[in-house]
A and B are shown apart, each in its own frame.
Chain A
């Protein structure tokens, strides 16, 4: 596979610049604040149905999307708000979709689990556990077929990683050297069932080996480590060597969805993760120690992020519901 020359991006082995670290902090904070606000709007009845929050896992998508280039494709499951923001989609359009408004990314017809942006290379937002994995493989197939230099990133949870279609995908991607990064966001629980209770081997990344897929495991609570692993993986993929399987070990602070009280784990387990491994707190300490930012600097970032999130909530609530005529549009494309 030929690779096009892309804007300079530090390859594996290069530490992120201070500016990049500050951007990671801001991007992760935006996801966290956005999700907290979404949870609040859900509580007010403004967001309906299912709503799966990404709080706790922010370092995974922010670290990996730092390795993406224009023209790459991203696809994920229903826990997708963070991926959309990390791909550069507007908070306004995402929040408006969550609230079922005409100004949402899917005109209010998709909801929390179904948003897309061709412009940003984001291909959903899929509600069937594991279905995004062959779709991501197909996006990679298209990149290779068109020889456009792009790669696909297919995110899944530890729960999805037990679906048969994941292994069908690993097999085909390896057989055909497709440019795809499979990312397992192992947050320890598939809904309420722990990895130990669902997986005969808990070393998830090891399941790439039978398919000759390069496999790696990374601390998914450390955005710098995720970026470093991501660059190693994407350098490999962009060199035409085939797919990579990455297990990012992370943690979700909230329940599986808004109605899940998460009784299957202890409060101590959650508190320990929050206190010791929070990706945002840890990066904040790093930036403080580096003297990259002082309290005023953090306050300014906090305010910027809060302004974006508050504006998105206001935009969503002020936007109209879809026109009734929208019921009958977008069913098929006129031939």
Chain B
């Protein structure tokens, strides 16, 4: 059977081109790789090579013809013994360009949390966030020999912020790995180790340094499961302090919650209390997906009650109501929960009963708990240290507008960091960060008080 040689598409967007020149004539023998013609696209002149062997039958399109549509037969190729007259050219349809079916609807939003997770425990102890994080990692490393910790100063130095205190002694240098200062490299190495069957915990000394590694977090860790049709899971935890500490300037003070929350394929967790830190870290290590675990340096030394139980794990994706109230909902995460609770106390003195939601997980966000609270209070304030533009508060406001518009008695108010790089001077830094008074003012404003 004679084969049609078709006008080729030579770029992702080409629909037609000029057949500039034939480099073979009728009757010529060709084999795979023989250059047949020169084709001009809008960008370049390309060579068309034969993909089959045979003899050129007819040249159907003359050299110099402009605007030859892609997939139009331009010549015929004859097998042994065939004559040119045997080969009527028949244009073939391009099946890949078939009409697209409508996209399936997005999955339904999650249901409201049934329990916040730790209420069932009766025995509690007091721990710092630092100790809770270390205990969570140690417990999971005892439980699963494939869990290991790597990062700068995690071993012999015992952690730049002493989160990994004692882990090297217990688990040895094989499982508590001091890395060179090489975030891009060790983040990618961690992803490869996860593909290879391990469960890495990668510590960034701060998430500010993870910008060096963000390509591996997003392109390698988050997207590969999808790009592989579900074959290549990447169970890895990227953890470290996020947001402002105190007086460390613009390059060490950024909140990355909204950056990572933007990415399908990632889970993003931001604990506030030591119980959050313990329960969510254990969940993050056990999770089969890449988890971004955003800690806060100022919280590391603060103490909270933590369930004294080996099986204490908190579910990722569930918020917690830290303080019930009926007049206004304040949504916060990480250190902003402390400020929201302080604001709620002061608001109570003025007769405003605020409900404070600790998000705990940024992605997937527990929007059901927010919407349920909004049904009760009809007023909403969001709090974050990061900038407002394209921030977590913006996302919550959009969800509330789409799914809770009729419950709103006032526009949503966003409390956030000021839209400036973090200044160093003490007074300016305080002004740049969202304070308790900002939350109080916002709550009053949405209550029209």
Q: Is B one of A's binding partners?
A: yes
Partner-B contacts on A (CB < 8 A): 32-33, 36-37, 39-40, 42-46, 48-50, 55, 73, 75, 99-100, 104-110, 114-118, 123-128, 131, 133-143, 145-146, 152, 164-165, 168-169, 171-172, 175, 253, 255, 258-261, 263, 317, 321, 324-325, 327-335
A44 touches B289 (CB 8 A): no
B191 touches A138 (CB 8 A): yes
- A43-B10, A45-B9, A134-B216 in contact; A175/B180 too (CB < 8 A)? yes
- B interface: dominant SS: loop
Query: Which of A138, A253, A325, A328 is in CB contact (< 8 Å) with B188?
Result: A138
Closest to B193 in A: A138
User: How many angstroms between the C-alpha atoms of A48 and B44 in the bound complex?
Assistant: 18
A261 touches B94 (CB 8 A): no
B49 touches A36 (CB 8 A): yes
Q: How many residues of B contact A (CB 8 A)?
A: 77
Query: Which of B12, B46, B92 is in CB contact (< 8 Å) with A261?
Result: B46
- A42-B8, A44-B9, A143-B196 in contact; A105/B191 too (CB < 8 A)? no
B195 touches A139 (CB 8 A): yes
B96 touches A48 (CB 8 A): yes
B192 touches A137 (CB 8 A): yes
Q: How far is the CB of A161 from chain B (nearest CB, A)?
A: 15
Residues of A within 8 A of B11 (CB): 258-259
| List of 9 A-B pairs having minimum Cβ-Cβ separation, nearest first | A138-B192, A43-B8, A134-B188, A168-B185, A142-B196, A107-B229, A259-B11, A135-B192, A40-B51
Query: Which of A55, A127, A260, A328 is in CB contact (< 8 Å) with B219?
Result: A127
User: How many angstroms between the C-alpha atoms of A171 and B106 in the bound complex?
Assistant: 44
Q: Is B264 an interface residue (CB 8 A)?
A: yes
A-B contact pairs, 19 of them (CB 8 A): A40-B8, A44-B92, A45-B97, A48-B96, A55-B33, A107-B230, A110-B229, A124-B227, A131-B216, A135-B192, A137-B185, A145-B148, A146-B198, A171-B180, A258-B11, A259-B46, A324-B102, A327-B103, A333-B225
Residues 344-362 of B contacting A (Cβ, < 8 Å):
none
Residues of B within 8 A of A128 (CB): 215, 219-220
User: How many angstroms between the C-alpha atoms of A106 and B12 in the bound complex?
Assistant: 20
A36 touches B51 (CB 8 A): yes
A259 touches B43 (CB 8 A): yes
Query: Which of A171, A172, A329 is in CB contact (< 8 Å) with B230?
Result: A329
Contact mask B243-287 → A, CB, 8 Å, 1/0? 000000000000000000000110100000000000000010011
Residues of A within 8 A of B224 (CB): 114, 116, 124
A168 touches B182 (CB 8 A): yes
- A137-B188, A142-B197 in contact; A44/B232 too (CB < 8 A)? no
User: How many angstroms between the C-alpha atoms of A133 and B102 in the bound complex?
Assistant: 39
- A39-B51, A139-B195, A164-B184 in contact; A134/B96 too (CB < 8 A)? no
User: How many angstroms between the C-alpha atoms of A263 and B196 in the bound complex?
Assistant: 41
Contact mask B4-45 → A, CB, 8 Å, 1/0? 001111111010000000000000000011000000010111
Residues of B within 8 A of A164 (CB): 184
Closest to B234 in A: A333
Q: How far is the CB of B214 from chain A (nearest CB, A)?
A: 11
Q: Is B316 an interface residue (CB 8 A)?
A: yes
- A106-B229, A117-B231 in contact; A321/B265 too (CB < 8 A)? no
User: How many angstroms between the C-alpha atoms of A214 and B194 in the bound complex?
Assistant: 26
A331 touches B264 (CB 8 A): yes
Q: A100-B96, A259-B11, A332-B267 are in contact. List 7 more A-B contacts (CB 8 A).
A: A43-B8, A107-B230, A117-B231, A126-B219, A134-B186, A325-B104, A335-B289
Query: Which of B10, B191, B267, B283 is in CB contact (< 8 Å) with A134?
Result: B191
Residues of B within 8 A of A131 (CB): 188, 215-216, 219-220
User: How many angstroms between the C-alpha atoms of A36 and B52 in the bound complex?
Assistant: 9
A165 touches B192 (CB 8 A): no
A333 touches B289 (CB 8 A): yes
A327 touches B104 (CB 8 A): yes
Q: Is B420 an interface residue (CB 8 A)?
A: no
